[in-house]
Amino acid sequence: MSLFLLSFFLVYGSMHAYVLLKAKSALALGPTTTLALLLLLAILLCAPILTYALSRHGYEDVARTTAYVGYVWMGFLFFFTCLNLSADLLRLPLWAMGRAGIAANAAGGRAGRPAFLCIAGLAVALSAYAIVEASRIEVVRVRIVSNRLPASVPSLRIAQITDLHLGLIHRNGKAREVAAIVAREHPDIFVSTGDLVDGQLDGVAGLAEMLRGIPAPRGKFAVLGNHEYYAGIDRAIAFTRKSGFTLLRDESVTIDDAVRIAGVDDPAGARFGQTGSPSEAALLGDRPDGRFTVLLKHRPQLDPLPGGKFDLQLSGHTHDGQIFPFRLLTRLVYPLLAGDHPVPGGGILHVSRGTGTWGPPMRFLASPEITVVDIVRSTPADPR
């Protein structure tokens, strides 16, 4: 955790220093104003740490306000930094063309007070839009025609949520909205593929009842994500079960002799002392005839060994980058970022963009998602 904090303060602190230098240069700030801005930026820099400390000591309302202000600022700062860096890159070739004339004047025009205020205003507008986008949950529909359902089950509907991150910021309103959307879809099976809770679990017990009330006649199943471990694994497990989910920890269940649901723990468990998990190949075994196999796995990674051993893998974790252009960095770690991807050996991996947000309550070009998968038994004319 100390390495994480060091990296966090190095990167996030550098962004704050960049803003301070930009503001001081463009606005010609005096010493007193610069010092005041420095103190304000230092408080905003430490807002996530203050949030954690306040919530742990029982100051939940203050922690929630601090979290919201701090994380909205984080989103704004990301937009502001990206826009300024883009402007700086545009400015470089103009400077390279000469220190005098039209090019120099154009370069100077992109560095002064008007440019700074325009970029700040655009960052505010993008932040406001991103807050709105994060509040608009899209129902993404996936249709799979398969010959692996028995005649007794001609169709099956699965609703997936993932990365809901219930905690200080996402609370009653978000849980109630998600429950209403899922209930309207009338799923046979309801699944959560991790990060149901955020790093702070204080005061969220009542939210479990909203999720528990969602009807799913063939069962509700969940797997652990990395944030369940960050929040405290025992409390996260208790909340997940209270929400009505059967937690699958490197195990599988068969429903109505028609569909097999397998779930694996997140690799974050290894950092918290979890050992001895079976391999995915051992867990899945041979794919049985006449049963559709679904693998629930938080991270969108494909284990090459279980190729052909499942029909559908449901994952999340990436948030599709959450705020573009952060997606470009996320793709370096998780190339299968969002959407449907064919699996070698047969099957489909669906990676959800996530239902909630982590950190800034914002999304930009990465709308939140609830996935509805309709599995339809193929007919002799469509023998897939």
- The domains located in the chain, with CATH, are 2-133 (no CATH), 138-377 (3.60.21.10)
User: Of 280, 273, 259, which is closest to residue 376 (Cα–Cα)?
Assistant: 259
pLDDT at 36: 95
Q: Which of 14, 135, 182 lies closest to 84 in space, CA to CA?
A: 14
- The dihedrals phi and psi of 138, each to the nearest 5 degrees, come to -100, 140
Count of residues in the chain? 384
pLDDT, residue 192, reads 98
Read off φ and ψ for residue 268, nearest 5 degrees.
-60, -25
Residue 159, token pair as written in the block: 């609703």
Residues 5-64 pLDDT 10s? 788 889 999 999 999 999 998 998 999 999 999 999 999 999 999 998 888 887 888 999
Alpha helices in 97-245 (DSSP H): 102-109, 113-134, 172-185, 207-212, 226-231, 233-242
Q: Is 294 helix (H, G, I), strand (E, B) or coil?
A: strand
pLDDT at 307: 64
pLDDT for the residue 103? 45
Listed as ranges, residues in the chain with pLDDT below 50 are 100-110, 383
Q: Give SS3 for 152.
A: coil
| pLDDT for the residue numbered 358 | 94
